[in-house]
Amino acid sequence: MIKRLLGVVPVVFGVLLLTFLLVHLVPGDPIEVMLGESAPMADRAKLRAELGLDQSLPVQFLHYLQALAHGDFGYSIHTRKPIADMLLIRIPATAALALCALAIAIGLGLPLGIIAALRQGKWQDGLATLSSLTLSAMPHFWLGPLLMLLFALWLGWLPVSGMSEPGSIVLPALTLGFGLAAILTRMTRASMLEVMNEDFVRTARAKGINEHKVILRHALRAALLPIVTVVGLQLGSLLAGTVITETVFGWEGIGRLLVESIEKRDYPVTQACVVVIALTYVVINLLTDLLYTRIDPRVRFAS
């Protein structure tokens, strides 16, 4: 565990460095965005000095690392508000969206994968496989407007966008959840097929155990490791997927904040959003490793 925690350090540092460099390589000047193209050069130079943008990139990066070491994300260039406060407002919305999408994915993917494995070669298997392939081929920026067109504009069942109504989370959650459900269906099917003919499954059936208990308590539990791996990885990627989905549906989460900060060339906010997403991804992967030992006691961390 110590080695794994120490391994997080170079990953986070690499994310910080690459994000810092890429953000500063994006064309456009935040000073020009704030003051306009017709602003006098003296005003531009004054504001650039106040924001610390007149310093060299290595110096700016060093100051950024020193602030992060004290838990300070800094201030937004445009609003001058603490970035930590902005993140605390946006993170709950993104977390709620990701958890709803995960619930949809598990609720669809696990049953469909189990049914496809139990009905291998039959029409149920073919339907589940075709559905998963179709959903996995649909990018979020295409599936989102399609669901919006169907359920919001044509049927009028759900709001188009925003967060003002209780059902506002349904369409963005479906957009994210369908993609993960497709991957989860295929992984569950493949993992279940590997264990269905194992000796312990045949032994359980020979003892006269109810078929549902054989499937759920014996076969599914043995097939959970690769499924948990996929869920852990995809839960981290859900945060990246929210960048597009939140923009499409006007969901005020961290993904939308990231897009807004990029458009405004608000370097500190952009860096903070990427750092939060990267750290969440790393933590989820670490928790997934810990979950392995709870599912299968034979699994131990490599030395």
Instruction: Tell me how far apart the alpha carbons of residues 221 and 206 are, in angstroms, rounded to a whole number.
Output: 19
Highest mean pLDDT among 31-35, 82-86, 166-170, 278-282: 82-86
Q: Does pTM top 0.85 for this prediction?
A: no
For residues 184 and 105, the answer to whether their CB atoms sit within 8 Å is yes
Task: For residue 18, give both structure tokens.
Answer: 């690459």
DSSP codes joined into one string, 92-151: HHHHHHHHHHHHHHHHHHHHHHHHHHHTTTSHHHHHHHHHHHHHHTS-HHHHHHHHIIII
Nearest to 131 by CA among 195, 80, 182, 60: 182
Helix (H, G, I), strand (E, B) or coil at 12: helix
Instruction: Tell me how far apart the alpha carbons of residues 153 and 232 are, in angstroms, rounded to a whole number.
Output: 34
Q: pLDDT at residue 151 above 70?
A: yes
Q: If you average pLDDT over residues 5-12, what whole number do you get?
A: 80
Instruction: Tell me how far apart the alpha carbons of residues 46 and 202 are, in angstroms, rounded to a whole number.
Output: 77
Question: Residue 119, CB half-sphere, CA atoms under 13 Å: how many?
Answer: 14
- pLDDT single digits (tens) 216-261: 777 777 777 788 877 877 777 777 667 888 888 888 888 888 888 8
Q: If you average pLDDT over residues 184-204, what whole number do you get?
A: 82
For residues 268 and 277, the answer to whether their CB atoms sit within 8 Å is no
CB burial string 204-219: b at 16+ within 10 A, e below: beeeeeeeeebbeebb
Within 8 A by CB and 6+ apart from 30, the residues are 51, 53, 77, 78, 264, 265, 266, 267
Q: pLDDT at residue 139 above 70?
A: yes
141 or 299: which carries more pLDDT confidence?
Answer: 141
pLDDT at 297: 61
**Amino acid residing at 135:** L
